[in-house]
Structure formats: C-alpha cells, structure tokens
Amino acid sequence: MSLILASQSPRRQELLNQLGLNFRVEHAVVSEMQSGEPPAVLAEVNAHKKAAFSARRSPDSLVIGADTVVVLGESVLGKPMDGVDAKKMLRDLSGRQHDVITGVALCQGSSSEVFHVVTHVWFRTLLSHEIERYIETGEPFDKAGAYGIQGIGGVFVERIDGCYFNVVGLPIQRLACALRRWGLDVFHA
C-alpha cells in the first residue's frame, strides 16, 4: 500500500522517516477552518480536509493529514503573522500552561479515521531579550504558538504532560497504532 503525507511540514516528514515508513509528500490545497469550533474539533476537521483532498486524488493510497493548534485559555494560537504577533504569543505563553492539540486523519478512498491528541505544556517565565533573540532566529514563524519544542524554542519549556512528538506535530505512538488498524505495521514496513 502506498502512503501519502498530506503536509509540507518538515517536522512531520522527519517523524515519519524516523518510523522507517516509505511515503510521498503531497501539498493539500484546502481552506483551513480558523475558528468557530472547539480546538480539538478544529484540529480534526482541518486534518481530515487535508487527508480527504489527497485521498480523492489517490484513492488507492492511505493518506495521513494532520493539523496542530496551540490553546491558551480560550484562545487558539495559530502561526504568527509577523514578528509583532510572535512576540505577543510568546509573552502570553510566558510562565503559563497551554495545550497542544494535534488532529490526525487517515483516509483511503471514502474510508477515514480521525482522532486528536492533547499534550499539556508549561513555559517558564521568559525574559524580553530571549523573546527578541528567538524571533530573530526565524524559528517561530511556521509554527503554531510561535515556538518549536524540537528547536531552540525547547529551552522555554519547563515540562510537558503527554506526548512530546505531538508538540512537534505528529503523535507517533497513537499514529502507529492507527496505521496498524489500516494494515501498516511500522515494525513490518
């Protein structure tokens, strides 16, 4: 069975490579839902839109779609629009706990499975110059919540409760279990 990742995320690609899976990457051209639903539903709907788009184009392939959102209180933090937006997000996250929710969808033809994983993340209190220098690295700009735990942004994280890989962008433990149900065992790939 051919496997497609409907995501341009280099982090998701790295995680699938770590699992030893053979896959190809397709960019799913969809309009993502930004608000109006609870964050977990938002992540699941966006993940399903991406996977379904590619599944329609390649009905014999198994397609993985994913969407990650950062939730602080009642606010969903997407990717920052610019440096000012990134600075605001990082200041808001400073010294607080937030949730990272990744929705994952597996689609093949008209069949699909959708789930989400939540990881609780605590940031230490950030200093102004740390935020400024971090923004200068460029790392925050393609990441929900304006940070990457797998990069230098990881120094802001005091602790987590849940799946680390979920914060990176793909909950690989839960994904591996789901892939097995679809006939793809990562240990027999």
Task: List, by residue number, the catalytic residues.
Answer: 67
Going from the C-alpha of 129 to that of each of 28, 50, 132, 149, 187, the distances in angstroms are 37, 38, 5, 19, 45
Whose structure tokens read 């989400």?
Answer: 116
> Rounded to 5 degrees, what are φ and ψ at 36?
100, -10
What's the angle, vertex CA 56, arms to CA 54 and CA 57, rounded to 5? Answer: 65
Q: Which residues contact 165 (CB under 8 A, 6 or more apart)?
A: 15, 171, 172, 173
Among the listed residues 80, 68, 50, the one whose alpha carbon sits nearest the alpha carbon of residue 119: 68
Per-residue CA distances from 40 to 82, 91, 138, 165 (Å):
25, 24, 27, 17
Q: Which pair of tokens denotes residue 143? A: 């990441």
Q: Residue 162 and residue 49: Cα distance in Å, rounded? A: 26
